[in-house]
Structure 1
């Protein structure tokens, strides 16, 4: 019955859908029949050729990549500077001309369609006293195969930053006051690291991203409408790809960054790679130490039938430091020409120590002072992780057909020691009652086991079939013990102590078929996932079980009018399952007037997504999208009354529905040879329907925009300057409205001929990045202001060493379907 209902959401009228499907198949067969004779005589391979004009031809190499940034071939020019790539199939390519470690020229994207391509002469000017003059570097923002790609090193504003800070600066991305990642107005985003779903959520995910330095990141992919090959979880996917060497021989890099705002920050990265024709051995290590603060000021008003009862004026100051170690070691070994075996082990150790000072003034109906409450909190969180992966790839033919298999085991251990000291005084400053002293400890464990296999078969005449399966088992075990130390001996607090076990099985299978005709490319996919969830609350002997199977179709239709003009339609259905923390029904203490609680009755949300993308020269891009979400999982802060006192509770609720409309524009401009401008703008509207805490909303939302402009100035003598500006307009999330804010970042870079680079960056130059907003219910109103550390200055040094000869890269796979929702 559940499958039928889900299908009904996609195809409301079965007979009508059947007629449309039959008509589409008939049209497909008709088009194929009319073109089959022409295809038999059409060529399947083409030549891309060119000529380089420079003062020194020797030691140049040209590397050709496909649209997925995979190295296809390497060629060397002859003495006249001529080069050619033979036997290329239709598709999108780009190439790099290199001398040693330096990129001398990066081409635009070249579309190979139905004829050979002879490029205009490429002129490269080199200076003897400098390493090189780079004619073209990777742009900060690119789009390939439905992904928006952010090349992290191409923007100086990311110098010395963390992964969380980079995401906050990304076009269309917002980090809210609770450190949740929001993309184009949609929350519940799936975060991946190298294609693997992160098992962390909430504070733990934010702490991990704070500790991941920008120097360890190669690029970030924003995938707003994934195909059936991807895990169906999340409203969208953000994939953070870490650096990995691809050059032959022994090579690597080292970087360090030091800076401060109000507090000190330090990031360090080291990676090394050794590659030959038989194997590739790689390792990396990153360490980050960061001190920062977050100040949250809140004005809470509680009403009864419209009459003001109480006001809470809160000033919460949190200072925290993070020590993060993470690393990885791996090996890819060519067993035979067709068999590649890979293995890797990675680890993380993250110590996060926040200290909080929360002061609350309680006022009566006429704003007369009643009492004052102060809470001092101190927490020490330690998160340790080890992950192991074994993978195998069998290359079936020279066309690119392959069979790949991945086995993963992941183990997370989390411990947390917490202390809260609360004192309450009357208006004259005299103590009320005895101080409330609360001590707690959390022991958490998370085990993940996963197996996946993917089969790709490429046929002549641009036909491609994909199929695969994934299975995963997740077990989370969290034991929380709180004791009231206000009396002697200490008493176990049964309202806050809690032992929760979560088990999840997911079984998935998918199939994709893609076919390209002369100008039209079609990709049709279907994914099926079966979910079996059990939540056991040992403290209350409460057991929650859920089982459901759902279908997730996807389709892409791409039409190439000319080599410069392309139109793409993208359709998909997705799901977002509640994470372990969201389902846990016990309370997490924050301060004297606020706690967090999970919701065991939370349902999974599903979404229908539609995108229309137009691109010009693969650089100027406009994407129009619409998403309809059912049972939208929304974080809310709502009022309750406990023991006669007004309390606010942070939790998750299912809203009936949410709708998002958006227009995303990418507009790069090059006014001169030394000035590049990378502009992006997101216009979107979100509307919500549902009921929380007795408050009904019907299609409440607003139109908003997010604009980003990055100016890169090549100043000569290998100096590069950058100015990055961002503006976010007023935005509404269900019951919350966020006021507009903006910020400006600047940076300066100098490259030296000994393979070293210096970078200086200043973020939030004018201290303007302050988040303010209001939450409104029928009997509750909250104004808040959140200020994170402003104006951070960072100085970075990096050095590259070793061989510069490029070898073929190997993308190591992983079980990328599971784990994002941690304890």
Structure 2
């Protein structure tokens, strides 16, 4: 109804279920502008279905909606004494929306941009009230497993952003992403080859979820309960409250998890014809509790401030027993002993962030974003190792270790986006990241009834790194063709210190990271994209810290404080095709990497010591295919296939490491929407064997499955998931050299989890049970 007014109107009424005549809580009553069809203001019904609010809008109509019901639009109403009394409004169930998510936007579902693809969330999918995870599952190249694990082009190394910035809502360790419902989402951007705007540190890609500015959805959330074997028990609560000025979100959870572990190893000294074998098993147990609190404060239509923080506390204990045998060449058993480990640890974690975003009136895409993020992590760990003789003359020994680990990270970032001349966009900004780590590690031996510190294995290692970055990009995007150029400057300062032995090492380097992206639209649903970017892979603490891990004291890993970063030139050519029921992506890529980091094994006295080293260069050329096919509304088939051919060249300690090889992997996922609100998901994975610098990684074949049942109009979800159905996933590595032979294998086994989730308000129940950690 359209009319002119200069007065405040009161709008009252009640929302009920047309069949049961019961009140509907948290139904949304929206005041919608008749000209633009955009929401102006609104409210939600209370527990009696009643609503009562005011508006000064004119030329509007009223829409009443709730998840699983047909929306009701009221365009004719009477105003009596400045009041619109809508009386009792009965909503009817939308049976189709309860059982499926139909993706059909009012404009093109997928837009092809210069360096990304943009998926617009249309009216049909919004009306279902589905979670953000279900929306992501409809995006080409993106797959969300039944457990909620997100992958892009088959890779799980993907960064999730909310409105272009990192957020605790997108943390992989939490469930808070599920509190974002489809009707809050405006669009989803998929970036497979990040430009100079983003960190030069490598990532498989970026998914950016853009939230609608004007959406005011009241309270939504979910409560979850998970149980599993091996132990995977947890209880969680996620809430999201949206008002006119505030968006409040919180998440709480407690739980306990067990990760079994089985290992085997063979160390054969070819020179003296002796062999050490080990076979062990044990459990890693973790108890945890966490809480997340945050708010978005909308100062006005153009300014918003976000403040959030999360705290988690973990208690770990680990038990591992391994039997060792020493044999001579004729398989004569010389010694046999049992090595038993008991480890305990506590891990407090803290994360906090402050962000400010300013939009501008002149253009919807012009914005300024400042963010300050901080986090800290500590580990207080102690271990006891007992060697008990079984046969032979090996003595009984006892060792213990203590680790006091502290980490602090800080990131300050400023980004500015400025569109101009209709088809041009300038982006610029800077970032300063600080990483401080201290690791105090002590090893003691029990000798003559006394604990004595082992000076050869004990040390305190400090690691300090700071990265200062500035970037700029300039893009032209026409209707058919576009080009984006970018340049990023990063200056890195690294300092390491072994305090016990007073060994200091410092390094600083400055690098330019250019990027070029171009795209050409063959048609509305077919596109070509090409890109180049230079990336860096900086050594992490574990790679730099030279302490010895003595869990298996015949297979030792040790860091290298002299390690330098890897640099990669990455080229990619992609064709993208979106048909009615089919989306296809074909990619050719080439990566040239210098100062490649590889673990090099040295062998002495039947002990293998693995240490990372910079070994030469790598040329990798590959082909990638991913597709998603939905021939009928109840069946979806997804496939990711990747094959690459590599050439390695390098020399270390006069030894030449030149070789060629290839590796390939494939994932096939089938999703079925069955009668009675059942969903079935089957996934098969294969990873080929491949050659490494000193050995060979074995192939891996494994399958996952899950089944989901929606009840109570989709407000409650029952979930059963099985990871590694046939317990066939085993990691094996073999190294056969002129003077030694080494073999290691590790197996985790089958994981089965059952979950129940209840969604309330406008939110839908979480669509997974027990995320991976």
The bucket for the TM-score relative to the shorter chain is 0.7 to 0.9
Asked if the contact 1:553–1:572 (Cα under 8 Å) also holds between the matched residues in 2, the reply is yes
Partner of 1:402: 367
Deviations 1:525-557 (A, max 9, x none): 100000111111111111101011000001110
Q: Distance in 1 between matches of 2:175 and 2:367?
A: 34
Closer, same or farther: CA 221–474 of 1 in aligned 2, 3 Å: farther
**Could you tell me the TM-score, scaled by structure 2's length?**
0.77
Deviations 1:634-660 (A, max 9, x none): 234x1332xxx3211132111111222
Q: Structure 1 residue 286: deviation in Å? A: 3.1
Q: Structure 1 residue 477: deviation in Å? A: 1.5
Q: Distance in 2 between matches of 1:110 and 1:192?
A: 21
> Is 2:637 aligned against 1:673?
no
Partner of 2:622: 662
Partner of 2:223: 254
Deviations 1:101-153 (A, max 9, x none): 99753226536799xxxx9x9999x9xxxx9999x96464744xxxx533x3x
Closer, same or farther: CA 368–787 of 1 in aligned 2, 3 Å: same
Partner of 2:384: 419
Q: Distance in 1 between matches of 2:102 and 2:111?
A: 20
Partner of 1:323: 287
Q: Structure 1 residue 432: deviation in Å? A: 2.7
Partner of 2:23: none
Closer, same or farther: CA 287–252 of 1 in aligned 2, 3 Å: same
Deviations 1:148-169 (A, max 9, x none): 533x3xx32x27xxx6xx77xx
Closer, same or farther: CA 190–501 of 1 in aligned 2, 3 Å: farther
Q: Distance in 2 between matches of 1:289 and 1:635?
A: 34
> Is 2:449 aligned against 1:450?
no
Partner of 2:649: 689
Q: Distance in 2 between matches of 1:250 and 1:674?
A: 31
Asked if the contact 2:314–2:348 (Cα under 8 Å) also holds between the matched residues in 1, the reply is yes
Which of residues 296, 307, 331 is equivalent to 1:367? Answer: 331
Which of residues 547, 551, 554 is equivalent to 2:515? Answer: 554
Deviations 1:70-112 (A, max 9, x none): xx966999999999xxxxxxxxxxxxx9999997532265367
Q: Structure 1 residue 393: deviation in Å? A: 0.9
Q: Distance in 1 between matches of 2:392 and 2:529?
A: 69
Which of residues 660, 672, 697 is equivalent to 1:713? Answer: 672
Partner of 1:273: 240
1:558-597 equivalences under 5 Å are 558-597=519-558
Q: Which runs of 5+ in 1 are unaligned?
A: 1-54, 63-71, 84-96, 174-182, 184-188, 200-207, 806-823
Asked if the contact 1:313–1:361 (Cα under 8 Å) also holds between the matched residues in 2, the reply is yes
Q: Structure 1 residue 501: deviation in Å? A: 1.3
Asked if the contact 1:213–1:268 (Cα under 8 Å) also holds between the matched residues in 2, the reply is no
Q: Distance in 1 between matches of 2:189 and 2:285?
A: 28
Instruction: Count how many residue pairs are aligned between Structure 1 and Structure 2.
Output: 666
> Is 2:197 aligned against 1:229?
yes
Q: Distance in 1 between matches of 2:393 and 2:611?
A: 32
Closer, same or farther: CA 197–290 of 1 in aligned 2, 3 Å: same
- Give the match's secondary structure for 2:273: strand
Asked if the contact 1:340–1:393 (Cα under 8 Å) also holds between the matched residues in 2, the reply is yes
Q: Structure 1 residue 198: deviation in Å? A: 12
Partner of 1:35: none
Asked if the contact 1:639–1:780 (Cα under 8 Å) also holds between the matched residues in 2, the reply is no
Higher helix share: 1
Asked if the contact 1:171–1:707 (Cα under 8 Å) also holds between the matched residues in 2, the reply is no
Partner of 2:589: 625
Which of residues 103, 106, 131 is equivalent to 2:103? Answer: 106
Deviations 1:441-485 (A, max 9, x none): 111212223211000112242211110101122221121122212
Closer, same or farther: CA 387–747 of 1 in aligned 2, 3 Å: closer
> Is 2:400 aligned against 1:439?
yes
Closer, same or farther: CA 684–216 of 1 in aligned 2, 3 Å: farther
> Is 2:485 aligned against 1:524?
yes
Q: Distance in 2 between matches of 1:431 and 1:344?
A: 60
> Is 2:261 aligned against 1:302?
no
Q: Distance in 1 between matches of 2:62 and 2:530?
A: 40
- Give the match's secondary structure for 1:588: coil
Closer, same or farther: CA 102–338 of 1 in aligned 2, 3 Å: farther
Q: Structure 1 residue 297: deviation in Å? A: 1.2
Q: 473-482 vs 684-693, which deviates more?
A: 684-693
Which of residues 244, 249, 254 is equivalent to 1:287? Answer: 254
Q: Structure 1 residue 289: deviation in Å? A: 1.6
Closer, same or farther: CA 624–334 of 1 in aligned 2, 3 Å: same
Closer, same or farther: CA 111–276 of 1 in aligned 2, 3 Å: same
Asked if the contact 2:225–2:235 (Cα under 8 Å) also holds between the matched residues in 1, the reply is yes
Asked if the contact 2:129–2:762 (Cα under 8 Å) also holds between the matched residues in 1, the reply is no
Q: 398-407 vs 553-562, which deviates more?
A: 398-407
Q: Structure 1 residue 695: deviation in Å? A: 4.7
- Give the match's secondary structure for 1:485: strand
- Give the match's secondary structure for 1:725: strand
Partner of 2:116: none
Asked if the contact 1:190–1:234 (Cα under 8 Å) also holds between the matched residues in 2, the reply is no
Closer, same or farther: CA 226–797 of 1 in aligned 2, 3 Å: same
Q: Structure 1 residue 691: deviation in Å? A: 4.0
Closer, same or farther: CA 486–234 of 1 in aligned 2, 3 Å: farther
Asked if the contact 1:357–1:376 (Cα under 8 Å) also holds between the matched residues in 2, the reply is yes
Asked if the contact 1:507–1:531 (Cα under 8 Å) also holds between the matched residues in 2, the reply is yes
Deviations 1:331-380 (A, max 9, x none): 11112322111111112222232211122211223333222232111111
> Is 2:604 aligned against 1:604?
no
- Give the match's secondary structure for 2:725: coil
Q: Which runs of 5+ in 2 are unaligned?
A: 1-17, 20-26, 31-36, 41-60, 65-69, 74-93, 114-119, 182-187, 765-773
Q: Distance in 2 between matches of 1:133 and 1:654?
A: 48
Closer, same or farther: CA 665–523 of 1 in aligned 2, 3 Å: same
Asked if the contact 1:722–1:746 (Cα under 8 Å) also holds between the matched residues in 2, the reply is yes
- Give the match's secondary structure for 2:543: helix
Asked if the contact 1:475–1:504 (Cα under 8 Å) also holds between the matched residues in 2, the reply is yes
Which of residues 444, 449, 457 is equivalent to 1:496? Answer: 457
Q: Distance in 2 between matches of 1:375 and 1:456?
A: 59
Q: Structure 1 residue 394: deviation in Å? A: 1.1
Which of residues 706, 726, 734 is equivalent to 1:747? Answer: 706
Q: Distance in 2 between matches of 1:474 and 1:795?
A: 39
Q: Distance in 1 between matches of 2:749 and 2:504?
A: 43
Q: Distance in 2 between matches of 1:420 and 1:690?
A: 39
Asked if the contact 1:420–1:591 (Cα under 8 Å) also holds between the matched residues in 2, the reply is no
